Copies of this chain bind each other. A is one copy, B any other.
Amino acid sequence: MKSDIEICRDTTLTPIDHIAQRAGLLPEDLTPQGSLKAKVKPSILKRLADHEEGKLVVVTAITPTPLGEGKTVTTIGLAQGLAKINQSVMACIRQPSMGPVFGVKGGAAGGGFSQVAPMEKLNLHLTGDIHAVTAAHNLAAAAIDARVYHEERHGYEGFSEKTGMQALRIDRERIVWRRVMDHNDRALRMITVGKNQPGKTINGIEREDGFDISAASELMAILALSKDLADMRQRIGRVVLAYDLDGKPVTAEDLQVAGAMAVTMIEAIEPTMMQTLEGVPTLIHAGPFANIAHGNSSIIADRIALKLADYTITEGGFGSDMGFEKACNIKAQQAGRGPDCAVVVATLRGLKANSGLYDLRPGQALPQAIFEQDEKALIAGFDNLKWHINNAAKYGVPVVVAINRFPQDTDAELAQLKEMVEAEQFTTHVDVAISEAFGKGGEGAVELANAVTRACETPANFKPLYDLSQSLEEKLMTVAEVGYGCRGVELSDLAKEQLAQFKAQGYDNLALCMAKTPLSISHDPSLKGAPSDFLVPIRELKLCAGAGFVYALCGNVMTMPGLSEKPAYLGLDIDNDGNIVGLS
């Protein structure tokens, strides 16, 4: 079989303005970026205000394994499958970060015959939104350090006299805004900035700092959660960058940098339209990761798609404890609209990897048994799938299990897994379908598409796990105990102090965004299957007043990945004809 980029290059694509026109967009709604991608103006939502909204399908998955479950393949495949059965459909996915593209995972455009095209445009820069988020974020960081430097250099009164502006008296030990970069750069996790030659201060004031990956920037979350440009501007103004010497929050508005940050992101707020290999319109917008951020594409993109298509297919990152939880508790509450159906992607080998019966270690060869029939491992791993189905059911939505078929999978074992699902009792409508979207495109996802249309006909009764009016502590408990099924939560002293502080400052009504490993339902990647008897340690909390949530770090979560010994960039190059090779 050809590589992803070869399949993509060998497919004849339709000009994006034709795709957009068929989807109901007018030329004035679009700003084309070449012939195969176009920015969509959010002003379209005014024009479409009276249109009824279609159904919102959120694709999630079992607990991910190093093998890859193919969630984006299934998302794109399902959209193509729905188009095959003549449904009006649009997909909404996130923009890939260059960190994973050059790191371990590679691209995030789907794969095989279920890709967003051209995949190399999607995977590299696209229309520059992540760069805009990075630039806006780092402008604020430069602005804080410069302000601290000038205020301390002139003295607070001297600063006011010189500038006519009030001194902010920022506590240099309490600058909470780190810098960001869209790369996996381990060496930037913990740094010292503002270093000087001995006796000099020309480089500012020395302090401990660090970089996160851009996907973890609060501005990325704001981009994904804003309902329009004015909302984005206001949210940016609310972002807390530091605290002053009295412990009062210093916001981007206080620093008078919020306007420039919003100006930097003025084009980023427009989703980018592309197409799947079969011409299904796809909106790409925002790129928060689901482990260290809220893990879902934007509310604006969903709203546009829902107004234009009968089915909007989107995905939440990682397993249903991760992106899907946040799709329901953060995104849906801010959008005022929950999903109508959850699709849980599972694979035979992924379930076996979740059985806990194999010794799987990153960078080591996989045991052969995982690719062969292994009933014991499949049964043991099934617990994980069952957990994710029940988890989605907690939110009151019907569930379709999509078994993403791989070439080595046997019919017998696929049938067995299907039966196992069908034999269980669930509290919601549950259906199961085999998907061959990777190898066959939409044709391979017709069974899945039919299952999804049936599920969407059953009445959904969406409810998030918590109400925003509950206290931060209650919300945290609820996500951990109901959302993960743990025994309880262990708050560090720091976390307790922070909870009290946020409450005192009036932030108790924010949502909760958990940063935890995606490799287990728990906080501990070694706990496989469906663990229950565990305590979730909360190390630290972070306030994201602009995004509208408090970010809780569970255990050892890294907000800046690193490059491995053999990163994906090694194979990337340009051939003699100027084509990109080695991207997958």
Contact = CB atoms under 8 A, between A and B. Distances in A.
Interface of A: 31-35, 39, 98, 102, 124-125, 127-128, 131-132, 134-135, 138-139, 141-143, 145-146, 149-150, 154, 159, 162-163, 165, 181-197, 202-205, 208-209, 229-230, 233, 256-260, 262-264, 266-267, 363, 562-567, 569-574, 576, 578, 580, 582-583
Contact of A563 (B32, B146, B182): B146
Contacts of A582: 259
Contact of A31 (B34, B163, B256, B257): B34
A138 B181 contact: yes
10 contacts: A141-B185, A150-B564, A150-B565, A186-B202, A187-B205, A190-B196, A230-B578, A259-B582, A266-B574, A266-B578
Contact of A191 (B185, B193, B263, B567): B193
Given A259-B574, A572-B260, A138 B183 contact: yes
Q: Is the interface of A mostly helix, strand, loop or mixed?
A: mixed
B196 A262 contact: no
A265 to B, nearest CB: 10
A190 B183 contact: no
Most buried by B among A33, A127, A264, A574: A574
B124 A264 contact: yes
Contacts of A189: 195, 203-204
A203 B128 CA distance: 28
Given A142-B183, A146-B563, 4 more contacts: A138-B181, A163-B566, A229-B578, A257-B570
B195 A102 contact: no
A539 to B, nearest CB: 12
A159 B565 contact: yes
Given A146-B567, A267-B125, A580-B266, A190 B163 contact: no
Contacts of A202: 186
Contact of A572 (B193, B263, B563): B263
A119 to B, nearest CB: 13
Nearest to A192: B192
A190 B195 contact: yes
A131 B139 contact: no
Contacts of A98: 135, 139, 264
Given A32-B34, A98-B135, A562-B146, A570 B256 contact: yes
Nearest to A141: B185
Contacts of A131: 125, 128, 131, 134-135
A141 B211 CA distance: 14
A135 B183 contact: yes
Contacts of A573: 233, 258-260, 262-263
A202 B205 CA distance: 26
A233 B98 CA distance: 19
